């Protein structure tokens, strides 16, 4: 069943057409790749889908309902989460605290900000939820370490964990493997696959590491100049001459 559907999404900035009539769909539990040259509009599309930006035209449907002008935090409550191109972790806080804050923010939405402050008792159910996500991502041994002490790859997993603890139906990942070497990328890909297998979650992924995209995504959508130039099964699309020219830079 279709979980997310974007129809005819268009976004302009001061006369520049960043997105032009873009369609994108993601089924429940599916992993869809979004690829394309730099400046093609990938991050802008993420921002339109997550509610950071409002499209000038087009609609975004989640579980068949039009998200309209729904704000970011309300979309989050419906089960839409994301990670960022640049890491957005809090220096000095431990891995466990990152997940705990995300868990509280999600469950106590609408409460006082002071509810998020990490003092006093941690409820056993909170601890269980945090531990479950840490275990799924292989982070149990790192739980009490401050995030500053982590490698880049582990930091990326913390970002993923912070998204997953809200039990989203859909996660947007913006370049989760950038800056990782081959070995780290393979590890994060494997962890992501394992976590995905255990959860009822769909993923839309922006990534330039084509090998990782091939491993993770059955289907990809290719943007160039704000338009969809190809979409379909990953292997077929990566063979498409227009995609090879615009994105892979390989000539026949």
Partner 1 sequence: MSAPLLELAGVHAGYGPFKAVVDVDLTVPAGGAVALLGPNGAGKTTVARVVSGLVRPTAGTVAFDGEVISGLPAHEIARRGVAHAPEGRSVFATLSVEENLALPLRQAHGTARAAELTDQAYAMFPRLGERRAQLAGSLSGGEQRQLSLARVLVDPPRLLVVDELSLGLAPVIIGEVYQRLAEIRRLGTALLLVEQYVEHALGIAESIVVLRAGEVAYAGAPLPTDELSQLFLAAG
**Number of residues that this document lists for the chain:** 252
Q: CB 99 → partner 1: shortest distance, Å?
A: 22
Residue closer to partner 1 by CB (options 29, 245) is 245
Residues 199, 94, 145: CA angle, nearest 5 degrees? 100
Closest listed residue to residue 40, CA positions, set 53, 22, 63, 27: 22
Phi, psi of 243 (to 5 degrees): -70, -40
* End-to-end CA gap in the chain: 37
Burial 156-174 (b: 16+ CB within 10 A, else e): bbbbbbbbbbbbbbbbbbb
DSSP percent split of the chain into helix, strand, coil, nearest 5: 40, 25, 35
Nearest-approach distance from CB 174 to partner 1, in angstroms: 9
Task: Choose, by CB under 8 A, the member of 145, 208, 215, 219 that binds partner 1.
Answer: 208
* Residues 154-193 contacting partner 1, CB under 8 A: 175, 178-184
Whether 4 contacts 49, CB under 8 Å: yes
Q: Find the shortest distance in angstroms from Cβ 56 to partner 1.
A: 16
Nearer Cβ to partner 1 (79/153): 153
- Among residues 161 and 176, whose Cβ is nearest to partner 1? 176
Among residue numbers 40 through 99, which ones bind partner 1 (CB under 8 A)?
40, 42-43, 85-86
- Spatial distance between the Cα atoms of 22 and 6, rounded to a whole number of angstroms: 7
* Of residues 69 and 183, the one with the C-beta less far from partner 1: 183
Task: Work out how close the CB of 25 gets to partner 1 at its nearest, in angstroms, rounded to a whole number.
Answer: 23
Is the Cβ of residue 62 or residue 247 nearer to partner 1 in the bound state?
Answer: 247
Closer residue to partner 1 in complex, CB, 2/85: 85
Is residue 37 near partner 1 by the rule CB under 8 A?
yes
Cβ-in-10-Å burial (0-12, 13-18, 19+) of 6 comes to buried
Q: How far is the CB of 153 from partner 1 (least distance, A)?
A: 7
User: Where do contacts with partner 1 occur on this chain (CB under 8 A)?
Assistant: 13-14, 16, 36-40, 42-43, 85-86, 151-153, 175, 178-184, 208, 210, 246-249
């Amino acid at each position: 069943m279709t979980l997310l559907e974007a129809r005819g999404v268009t976004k302009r900035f001061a006369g520049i057409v960043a997105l032009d009539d873009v369609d994108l769909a993601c089924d429940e539990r599916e992993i869809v790749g979004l690829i394309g040259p730099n400046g093609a509009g990938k991050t802008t599309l993420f921002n339109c889908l997550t509610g950071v930006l409002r499209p000038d035209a087009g609609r975004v449907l989640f579980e068949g309902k039009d998200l309209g002008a729904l704000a970011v935090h309300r979309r989050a409550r419906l089960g839409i989460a994301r990670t960022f191109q640049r890491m957005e972790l809090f220096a000095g806080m431990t891995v466990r605290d990152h997940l705990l804050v995300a868990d509280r923010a999600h469950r106590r939405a609408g409460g006082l900000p002071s509810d998020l402050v990490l003092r006093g008792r941690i409820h056993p159910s909170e601890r269980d939820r945090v531990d479950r996500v840490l275990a799924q991502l292989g982070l149990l041994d790192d739980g009490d370490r401050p995030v500053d002490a982590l490698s880049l790859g582990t930091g990326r997993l913390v970002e993923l964990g912070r998204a997953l603890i809200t039990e989203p139906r859909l996660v947007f990942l913006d370049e989760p493997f950038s800056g990782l070497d081959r070995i780290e990328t393979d590890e994060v890909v494997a962890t992501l696959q394992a976590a995905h297998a255990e959860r009822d979650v769909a993923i839309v992924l922006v990534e330039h590491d084509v090998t990782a995209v091939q491993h993770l995504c059955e289907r990809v959508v290719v943007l160039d100049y704000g338009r969809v130039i190809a979409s379909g099964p990953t292997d077929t699309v990566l063979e498409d001459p227009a995609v090879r020219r615009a994105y892979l830079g390989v000539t026949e």
